[in-house]
Amino acid sequence: MTTAVAPPIKAKQRPGDRIFSTATVVAGSLILVVLAAVAIFLVAQSLPAFTADESAFKGGITNFWDYVWPLAFGTVWAAALALIMAVPVAIGIALFISHYAPRKLAQSLGYVVDLLAAVPSVVFGLWGITVLAPALQPLYSQLVEWFGWFPLFAGPVSGTGRTILTVAVVLAVMILPIMTALCREVFLQTPRLHEEAALALGATRWEMITMAVLPFGRPGIISAAMLGLGRALGETMAVAMVLSPASVISFALLQSQNPSTIAANIALNFPEAHGVGVNVLIATGLILFLITLAVNMVARFVINRRKAFSGAN
């Protein structure tokens, strides 16, 4: 004798739930539509640049790839230098706010960090060109004198201080607040029981941080670093104001001839561009779009792989 199985009872959705569910689906789909529209626009407008003749370029450049390669190199090089400088400082500030500073001081520092994240990039550019570059120029001269045998510090040194290293410092200061804020929030989410268990086993505060806080916050640190890297890759005004650009590929940090970045090159040349020159600049924007997309995909892969590894353990 078989027993009839009652059909499952579907929960009745309220109108507010249906509206909210539909709105979230529409919002999520809109992001994909906008991204696809941007990609289609960049590809369509970039096609003439790939087949442009020599007259569309300046400085003896014969094709688009010779034109964009130094710009792509400068973009990645400046952003990587900024990230190397900013990540350890951001982690240190976030740990101080979340685990070392008294409550009132931590709140004040948190407000300052959030305020710095809202400063416009043009302000950082003015600070870099009027204060930072002249202040660092004597240091650059000493570095060339002491370490000129090393390729990164090879001369001749810039007389104005407007070098790729100055730009990297400015970019590091720009991305520092957002990275610090994200790391701070991640560190504050560390399970309290993990911290107390480490302290109960006799660990010092720093040992507790290395055993409990940093492993828990590693995916958040990677996400913060990639977000900062994305901003550094796309920064325009600060780089255009501080850097003395040239169409070169050089790892030297202190010379006056520095590779420019894609975003700064577009900002400087777009007002005077016409005809195929506009398509060339849009094509460089397509390369920047692909670089940023690749960086985010790699970051997402690393985070998902680490989450899967942690779940398996």
Alpha helices for the chain (secondary structure H): 15-50, 64-95, 103-116, 121-127, 133-147, 164-188, 192-200, 205-208, 214-234, 237-242, 262-269, 276-312
Residue 258, strand partner residues:
245
**Distance between CA atoms of residues 83 and 70, nearest Å:** 20
What CATH number does residue 251 fall under? Answer: 1.10.3720.10
Could you please report the per-residue DSSP string of 82-149? HHHHHHHHHHHHHHIIIIIS-HHHHHHHHHHHHHHTTS-HHHHHHHIIIIIHHHHHHHHHHHHHHHTT
Question: Which has the higher per-residue pLDDT, 303 or 174?
Answer: 174
Tell me, yes or no, whether 9 lies in a domain. no
Residue 8 confidence (pLDDT): 61
Share of the chain above pLDDT 90, in %: 4
**Distance between CA atoms of residues 244 and 159, nearest Å:** 11
Tell me the CA distances in angstroms from 205 to 63, 212, 231, one per residue in order.
Answer: 58, 10, 33
Q: Are 284 and 265 contacting, i.e. CB atoms less than 8 angstroms apart?
A: yes
Tell me the CA distances in angstroms from 185 to 25, 29, 108, 220, 257, one per residue in order.
Answer: 28, 28, 15, 9, 40
Tell me, yes or no, whether 114 lies in a domain. yes
Cα distance from N-terminal residue to C-terminal residue, the chain: 47
- Whether the pLDDT of residue 312 is over 70: the answer is no
- Whether the pLDDT of residue 91 is over 80: the answer is yes
Q: Which two tokens stand for residue 167?
A: 């730009």
Residue 107's pLDDT band (cuts 50, 70, 90): confident
Residue 307 confidence (pLDDT): 60
Tell me, yes or no, whether 313 lies in a domain. no
Residue 311 confidence (pLDDT): 53
**Distance between CA atoms of residues 224 and 180, nearest Å:** 8
Question: In the predicted model, what is the mean pLDDT of residues 299-310?
Answer: 68
For the segment 187-225, what is each residue's pLDDT rounded down to a tens digit? 888 888 888 888 888 888 888 888 888 888 888 888 888
**Distance between CA atoms of residues 226 and 300, nearest Å:** 9
Mean pLDDT over all residues of the chain? 82
Structurally, how many domains does the chain consist of? 1
For the segment 11-64, what is each residue's pLDDT rounded down to a tens digit? 566 777 778 888 888 888 898 899 889 889 888 888 888 887 777 677 677 778
- Tokens 């040194």 — which residue? 157
Residue 88 confidence (pLDDT): 92
Tell me, yes or no, whether 287 lies in a domain. yes
Q: Which of 108, 163, 161, 103 is nearest to 131 (CA)?
A: 161
Task: Sort 274 into a burial class: Cβ within 10 Å, 0-12 / 13-18 / 19+.
Answer: exposed
Longest dimension (CA), the chain: 96
Q: Which two tokens stand for residue 86?
A: 């900013």
User: CA torsion sign, 166 to 168 to 170 to 172?
Assistant: negative
Tell me, yes or no, whether 17 lies in a domain. no
For the segment 249-270, what is each residue's pLDDT rounded down to a tens digit? 777 777 777 888 888 888 888 8
Tell me, yes or no, whether 70 lies in a domain. yes
Residue 89's pLDDT band (cuts 50, 70, 90): very high
Distance of CA 229 to the CA centre of its chain: 2
- Whether the pLDDT of residue 1 is over 60: the answer is no
Tell me, yes or no, whether 16 lies in a domain. no
The pTM is what?
Answer: 0.83
DSSP 8-state class, residue 52: -
**Distance between CA atoms of residues 156 and 153, nearest Å:** 9
Residue 7's pLDDT band (cuts 50, 70, 90): low
Question: In the predicted model, what is the mean pLDDT of residues 292-304?
Answer: 80
DSSP 8-state class, residue 258: E
Q: How many CB atoms lie within 10 A of CB 282?
A: 21
- Tokens 């626009």 — which residue? 41
Tell me, yes or no, whether 103 lies in a domain. yes
Name the residue range of residue 295's domain: 22-308
